[in-house]
Structure formats: C-alpha cells, structure tokens
Structure 1
Amino acid sequence: MEKKSEINGHAMPSSASTDRMLEQSAQKSPRDKVLAFLKRNLLVILTVSGVLVGVGLGMMVRNMHLTRAQMTYFAFPGEMLLRMLKMIILPLVVCSLISGAASLDTRSLGKLGGIAVSYFLVTTLIASGIGVALAFIIKPGVGAGALNTNNLGLESVTTNKETTDSFLDLARNLFPANLVAAAFRSVPVGTDTDGMNILGLVLFAMVFGVALRKLGDEGEELIRFFNAFNEATMVLVSWIMWYVPFGIMFLVGSKIVEMEDVVLLVTSLGKYIFASILGHIIHGGIVLPLIYFGFTRKNPFSFLSGLITPFTTAFATCSSSATLPSMIKCVEENNGVDKRISRFILPIGATVNMDGAAIFQCIAAVFIAQLNNAELNAGQIFTILVTATASSVGAAGIPAGGIITIAIILEAIGLPTNDLSLMLAVDWIVDRTTTVVNVEGDALGAGILHHINQQEMKKQQQQGKQEDEELAEVRVEAVANVQAEEETSPLVTHQTKEATPEAIESVL
C-alpha cells in the first residue's frame, strides 16, 4: 500500500523523501519551527499586515485633508496593483481554460462541468434564500422611509434597462461577434461598452480546448503551446504576488481617505450593511463549509486556511477576476488541487459563481421594497430568488459589478430604481465581504471536484487491479492445462519435439 500524506485536507502521494522531511521536522528546535513557519507563510503575513497598516495609514492621512491631486498620488501604488492583476486575467483565463479543457477527456469534462454547474446553481440559490430571509427578519428598510438620496447628497442612478434585455445580453455575451473586442468590451442591450467580456472568452476557450483534443496528434503542438503559455503566466503571477502586500496597503488606505461621512451612512443604512455582512458570514462560514464537508468528509477550515492570501486580495480589490491569479496559485500549491481541475473550474467560477452578490442583491431588493412601503407577495419573492440567481451569472467580476444587476431584480418585481444610489453609497463596505464569499465558493467548488475526481480514479484503479487478478488466474489455469496435456499426450510431445524451424516461425 502506498502511504498518503495530506496537504490542507487533500490526500497526496507520499514518498521516502517526504518521510525523511517529516522525521527531520520532528527533530527541529522550537526556534527552527517558528522560522520555518514564518518562511512558509511570509506572503500571507505580509498581505494581512498590508491591510492593517493600510487602515492605520488611511486614518492618519484622512485627517490631513489632501487635495484631489495628492489623493491620486497616494492611491497610485494601489492602482498599479489592480492594473497588474487585470493585465494577467486575459492570458490566464484563456490559456488555463484551453489547456484544462484539452487535458480532460470529453466524458470527464462533461461530468465535471455538470457537477460544477449544479454546485454553482445550488449554492447561489441557497445564498439568495439566505438574503431574502435575513431581509424579512432584520427589516433594514422599515422605518427608513424618510431616507432618500437627497439626505445623503447622492446623485441618482438611472437605468432604462428592461429585464428581458438583461437576459438577452447574457446570451449575446456568451457568443461575442469579435473575440479580440471581447477582451475589452461587453455587450449590454446590443451595444458594446467598456469592460472585459469574460463570459464569452470562457465559452470560446472551453470549446476551443475540446476541439484541440478532438484533433488528436495534429492538435498536440497547440495544446503544448497553451500549456507552456499557462505555466509562464503562473510564473508572472508568482512575481506579482510579492507586490500584493505593498499595493494592498495603499489600496485600502486610499479607500479610507476617499470615504465621505461614514457616520451618517452607517447610521442611516446600518441595518442594511449589517444584514448583508451577516448573510455573508452565515453563507461563507457555515453553509459552504458544510457543503464541502458533506462531499469530502474533510475539515473545510484547514482547506480555507491555505487561501488567506487570495481572501485578503479579494477583500482589498473587491474583484473576483483580480483575485483569480492568486486563487489558482494557492489552491494548487497549498491545497494540492489537480492543475487540470483548478485551471478549468476557477476561471468559470470567477465569472458565473456569485454567491456573495446574490445575498446582497436580494437584501437590497427587499430593502428598497420596504423603503417604498411596498408589500411583496409570494410571486414577487420567488421572482427575486430566481432573478438574483440568474442575473448574478452575468454580473461582472469587478468592483460594484453587482449594483447594475439589482436594477434587473427591481425591474422584474416592478419597483423604482431611483434608490439604487443608496446601495452605491455603501457598496465599498458590502462589496468586500461579497467578493470574499464569491471566491470562497469557487475555491471550495474546486476542492469538491478534486475529491470527486480522486474517488473516480481510485475506483478505476481498483477495477483495473481486479481485472489483472482475474487475468492472472486465467493464465495460471491455462499454463497448468498445457503442462498436463504435455505430460499425458505423447502425440503433442512428439509434435513439439519434431517441429521444424519454419513451422515455429509461422506460429510466432
């Protein structure tokens, strides 16, 4: 039996070298162990420290009353981080999906894809249910009827987008007319606007990967090219990761400096903020870990402990897409998830799996209904659940990407969209926990698929062993019969002895 070691809850094959390392680590002094821990988790410690220092720095600089130009200079290192992460998204998504789809055979691709889509839909529907339930329990909009955008000095957000158009746009984005344009444009209501159309690129990359595999030997060279491109991109990601702590410090600090009257916002919209963050804690801290444990029977928190860096990046950047590079790196290196699975599932998850967004969208819809003293019937509540689940698929993985999708829900249940600016005012608070839950759902999905894949491989190996054993038994019996025949039949023995060389050659 081959020994198994575990990396953050995932079984990994053990070897003599890893056994020796374990023995050496047992003999290390406490000082050496502390140094080894610091070295192993240096990036995580630096990233978390970057957030804390950024908060302190932001509070200090906030009292200095910087000019608009000075604020721009202060935010510059954080802006550079976002630009680096966005720069790497396109090659990472396209190459990882093409190489991932090409490395899996069509049957397993279909099975894994089916499980992934089911997982994404079910978790998003549960998230929507939690959001609606909390909104009715906490009632964030009750008693806030006097609150409007004029009280907070906010500009109104207008949208003339119909619900039908939103779902048609989802289909339009799936099939971009121009792949090059899709790298920096999406298609709302039939017209191109700025913003990467990741959904269209994801579908194209998956189908293209399957097509390359179907080509056989002819497609091998192109598959190797995309594999090499993918690995080179991951090297770039590992370099960018060391800039993350410094960039995050200024990213968080600049957001604190830019804040308007926080006290007024929190007192006015405190119940809405509380309901949204509580929903994210329940879904991310209880529901998703329970689903992971139900499938794998492993500790979900040991798995999540290897993902502190991407969670911190998600908290600071408010972008699922920008967190994708660090998520792929950490899921593979810290949790031992198969590259073929992580690079296939995580880009899809970053595009279509928005559990955190579904929670705050549902709470926002009910909040605006309560704000306008509108009683929601069972049909409207069901519409909110379904529309939030469906529209979160098309939500952009960028800061404030979910705000526009709230307009779709409001249009679907016949509520005015002029109160959306209230959501926008506190989106910078809620969006942080939203993004963390979004990327957590993606990571745990990859862990579940990795576990299912391992179980399938074990079954195949066991079946292979059984077949080998059966064949071995058949061979033993056949040899015994031949020997018995040689001993008892003088005719066969006589023929074997007198066989000519030509006869032997023809038999062979």
Structure 2
Amino acid sequence: MQSIIKNYSSIILLLIGITIGSLLGLFLPNAVPYIKPLGDIFLNLLFVAVIPLLFFAISSSVANIEGNNRLGRILTTMSLVFIITITIAAILTILGLWAFPVTAVSDGKGSEETLIQAVNDSWGDKIVRFVTVGEFVNLLSRQNILAFVIFSFLVGISVRKSGELATPFLRFLIAGNEVMKNMLDIVMKLGPIGLGAYFAHQVHELGPELFGFYAKPLSFYYIFGTVFFFVLFSVYAFIAGGTKSVPLFWKNNITPSLTALSTCSSLATLPSNLLAAKQIGVPSSVANVVIPLGNTLYKNGSAISSILKIYVAFSILEWNFFEPTTLVMAVGITLLVSMVAGGIPNGGFIGEMLMISVYSIPNEAIPAIMIIGALVDPLATVLNATGDTVASMLVTRFSGERLTIPEKQNLHNDNA
C-alpha cells in the first residue's frame, strides 16, 4: 500500500488539488479571482521551461546516437515501426471519437478570432509558419515550438558530424538536459496548486456540469485504451511471429504490465520489458536497442491521449475537429508527442504546449487538456511501456532477424 501511494503520489496530490479547487469554485466563488493568479504563475513557469528543455533533450539524444551497418538497419526498421504503429493508434482514436463522440462544455469566448485566422491561412502559409521562423530570436517563443524542435534536431545531427571537436559541446548538451529535467520536476511540484487554481476558475465559470464533461473523455480513454491494449498488441505479436507468438507475448507481458500499472513509470518497467523480450526470443541486439529507445520514443498511450486532448480542446472551443487539415496536423502532432516528448518527465505537458502552439488554442482550454493528460496516466503508462516489447518483436521480424525461443525455458514456463 505504501509503495502504491509513493508511486502515485503526484496523481494523488493533483486530485487533491483539483478537489480543493473545485470546492472553492463551488462554495467560495468570491475567492476565485484571488486564486486564479496561482494557476497563471504555474502555466507561465511551464511555458518558460519548455524551450530550453526541448532543446537540450532533443539535441543531446540525437547527438548521442552511434551505430554500424547492422545497428543502422535496426534503427531504420525501428523508426518505421514506431511511426507506422503510432500513426495507426492515432487514426484508430480518431475513428473511435467519430463513432463515439465526446461532447464538451463550451464557454464560447475567445475562439472566434483565432479560428478565423486559422481558416484564412493557406496550407503553404501554415507549413512555412509551423516549421520555420524568420529570425533566430523567434525560435525562443512558445508560439514556434515546432520550428524549434526541427532546429534542435539539426543541432544534434551537426554535433554528430563534428566528431571529437564537438565533445565539449556534447557534454554541455548532456549536462543541460539533466539540469532542465530537474527544473521541470521542481516546476511540476506546483502542479496541484496551479491546476487546482485553474480548476476553481473553471468550476466557477462553467459550474458542476464540468464534472460530467471530464467523465466522458476519461471513460472513452479507458475503454478504448483497454481494447487497443488487448486487440492491437495481439495483432502486432501475430504479425511478428505467427500464431504461437501471441500467447507467448501475453504470457511474458504480465509482469511488465503489472509493473507499469503499480509504478506508473515506463522507466521502472524497462528491466522487466528486457526480460520479457528475452523470454519471447527477441535477439539481444534488437532488444537492447529498441526497448531502451522505445522507453522514451515510443508511446502508444500518449498517442491516444494526444488525439483525445486535441479533440477535447476543439470541442470546448466549438471548433470542427474532423476538418481534414486539422486531422492531418493532429496525427503529426501525435507523432511528435510520442517520439519527442516521451523521454522528458511530464512530457505530456510538453506535447500539450506543442498542440497549443500549432492550433493557437486559447488559454481557457489549456487546463482541461492538462488535467485529462494527468488522469489517464495509469493506463497510458501500461500502453507506453509494454508497447516497447511488442515493438521489439516487430523490429525483429522486419529487420531480418529471427525470434529464437529457448525450448527448455518454454517447457519450464509451461510446467510452472
């Protein structure tokens, strides 16, 4: 019990903060104007931390990649597996939301002007605005996060090409990454207070109907995510190794799943994932590359929640989520959220900042998507963490390697 409380302490504190904020919004409405600035301070600190955190996390990760031909083949296959399966998760989530729409409460304020601007921009203008800026100083704005992500990738690649001369700069990037991760940890300790303050404001503005609104997207996520977990992972296991690999995957995926659920940490699940991959027969040359990288770059749970959060934000603002351009952007953002923000503590919040930047989402929709992201974390962690194992099976299949299941180990496990 103490272990569960410790591992879920951040979520528990967040729920306590939200509960207190809700009660204040309901029963002490006159206090809300004095409380809301606490939420604004929290969001501003988060916005300030986003840019340097992204730069150090991305550039240091890219600069550290090394490899020979075989590793290059594994990395190429891994990248394709990650991109294709995350895209599948995003598209299936869109179809699920289309079939089972989640309605939302709208305050009807502040969205019309932004929506008109978004509609008036041509597709070419959007591409230019999203991926580039006219001056370096503009990269430092949270309104241009996508362009900054691309710049950070280019810095990482340039460090690799510079060889030994860039070693001091690489050490700087690695150290900066560690410093900024610790800074984000400090900022996120204010989350219960900041989001609680914003929740008090929302409850005061929107009333008790707000609770019914949150119940619907959360119910969708847990039902859809559970079905996805069992059905899609079984399909991927079958593609990787045929009929026999499906029960073999689930037999050895029990421990990683329980570890992810009990610790709410993908990193804590990494050792059991490596052991599960070995028992399934994934070659160590594949498992030792795909699973550690997948721990930070491959997030099925985050992909599903990313689409859901964009949908919820659009619903709050009464925008059309199912417009084709919006859907294409949503899938692109989901890929970035999964493969860029995954290695950052509270990386989901970084993804939220990205979608806010790309869609120019007004501030009133921000707390809703942040709270949903926090509350889906247990199942999201299970999907994120255990997906690494089945991804390693797919990489084995398509990189030309073979699953080699130790026969004696299988007999031993079957008799246990």
For Structure 1 versus Structure 2, the TM-score category normalised by the shorter chain is 0.5 to 0.7
Q: 2:149 aligns with which of 199, 202, 215?
A: 202
Of the three residues 235, 252, 256, the one matched with 2:196 is 252
CA drift at 1:99: 2.0
1:96 aligns with 2:60: no
1:331 aligns with 2:266: yes
- Which position in structure 1 is the counterpart of 2:30? 66
CA shift in 2, pair 1:85/1:335, >3 Å? farther
Which has the larger displacement, 385-394 or 95-104? 385-394
Q: Against the structure 1 CA distance between its residues 304 and 283, is the aligned structure 2 distance closer, same or farther, given a 3 Å change threshold?
A: farther
Residues 363-410 of structure 1, C-alpha deviation per residue, up to 9 Å, x if partnerless? 789x989xxxxxxxxxxxxx9375443121359944795799599xxx
Q: 1:216 to 1:59 in 2, by over 3 A?
A: same
Alpha-carbon deviation of 1:48?
Answer: 0.4
Distance 2:309 2:228 in 1: 15
Deviation at 1:258, TM superposition (A): 4.3
- Equivalent in the alignment of 2:16: 52
How far apart are the structure 1 equivalents of 2:303 and 2:369? Answer: 19
Query: RCO (CA 8 Å, sep 6+): is it higher in 1 or 2?
Result: 2
Query: For residues 221 and 126 of structure 1, what CA distance do their matches in structure 2 show?
Result: 45
CA 57–228 in structure 1, closer or farther in 2 if over 3 Å, else same: closer
Task: Please give the per-residue CA displacement for 1:173-207, whole angstroms capped at 9, x wherever unaligned.
Answer: 223333432221xxxxxxxxxx3422222222223
Matched, 1:389 2:327: yes
2:100 corresponds to 1:162: no
- TM superposition shift of 1:164: 6.2
The 8 Å contact of residues 176 and 200 in structure 1, kept in 2 or not, is answered as yes
**Residue 211 (structure 1) aligns with:** 158
Instruction: Show the 5 A alignment for 1:212-291.
Output: 212-240=159-187, 243-244=189-190, 247-249=191-193, 251-260=195-204, 262=206, 265=209, 276-288=217-229, 290-291=231-232
How far apart in 2 are the matches of 1:176 and 1:438? 34
The equivalent of 1:181 in structure 2 is 138
SS at match of 2:122: helix
Q: Residues 234 and 250 of structure 1: is their aligned pair in 2 closer, same or farther, counting only changes over 3 Å? A: closer
> CA 1:80–1:352 in structure 2 vs 1: closer, same or farther (change >3 Å)?
same
How many residues of Structure 1 are paired with residues of Structure 2 in the alignment?
A: 346
SS of the equivalent of 2:133 reads coil
Instruction: Return 166-175 or 89-98, whichever deviates more.
Output: 166-175
| CA displacement at 1:427 relative to structure 2 | 7.8
Alignment counterpart, residue 305 of structure 1, candidates 261, 281, 287: 261
Alpha-carbon distance in 1 for matches of 2:297, 2:156: 10
Return 5+ residue gaps in structure 2 as ranges.
238-248, 274-290, 335-349, 403-416
- Structure holding more helix per residue: 2
| Aligned-pair identity (%) | 12
- CA offsets, 1:335-355, max 9 Å, x none? 458665545567xx9899822
Q: Which amino acid aligns with 1:116?
A: F
Q: Are 2:52 and 2:180, in contact at CA under 8 Å, matched by a contact in 1? A: yes
Distance in structure 2 (CA, Å) of the matches to 1:426 and 1:90: 21
- Secondary structure in structure 2 of the residue aligned to 1:124: helix
Deviation at 1:454, TM superposition (A): 8.9
- The equivalent of 2:246 in structure 1 is none
8 Å Cα contact 1:96-1:230 kept in structure 2: yes
The verdict on how the C-alpha distance between 1:399 and 1:165 changes in structure 2, with shifts beyond 3 A counting, is same
**1:208: how far off?**
2.6
Give 1:355's aligned residue: 307
1:98–1:205 contact (8 Å) kept in structure 2: yes
Q: Which residue of 2 aligns with 1:116?
A: 82
- What is the TM-score when the length of structure 1 is the normalising length? 0.52
Closer, same or farther: CA 203–236 of 1 in aligned 2, 3 Å: same
Contact 2:131 2:147 in 1 (8 A): yes
Change (3 A) 1:210 1:276: same
Q: How much has 1:169 moved relative to structure 2?
A: 1.6
Q: Which amino acid aligns with 1:357?
A: K
Equivalent-residue separation in structure 2 for 1:439 and 1:44 (angstroms): 9
- Counterpart-to-counterpart distance in 2, 1:353 and 1:303: 21
Which runs of 5 or more structure 1 residues have no equivalent in the other structure? Answer: 1-33, 142-146, 185-194, 309-329, 370-382, 408-420, 464-508
Contact 1:100-1:340 at 8 Å conserved across structures: no
Matched residue of 2:30: which SS? Answer: coil
Say which one has the larger Rg.
Answer: 1
CA deviation string 1:276-316 (max 9, x = no partner): 444323333332565456456424743542664xxxxxxxx
- Cα distance change on mapping 1:197 and 1:119 into 2, 3 Å: farther
**In structure 2, do the counterparts of structure 1 residues 109 and 165 end up closer, same or farther at CA, with 3 Å as the change threshold?**
farther
Distance in 1 between the 2:170 and 2:393 partners? 24
CA RMSD of aligned residues (A): 5.0
Q: TM-score, normalised by structure 2?
A: 0.62
Is the deviation greater in 428-437 or in 215-224? Answer: 428-437
**Match of residue 134 from structure 1:** 100
Please state whether the residue corresponding to 2:8 is helix, strand or coil. helix
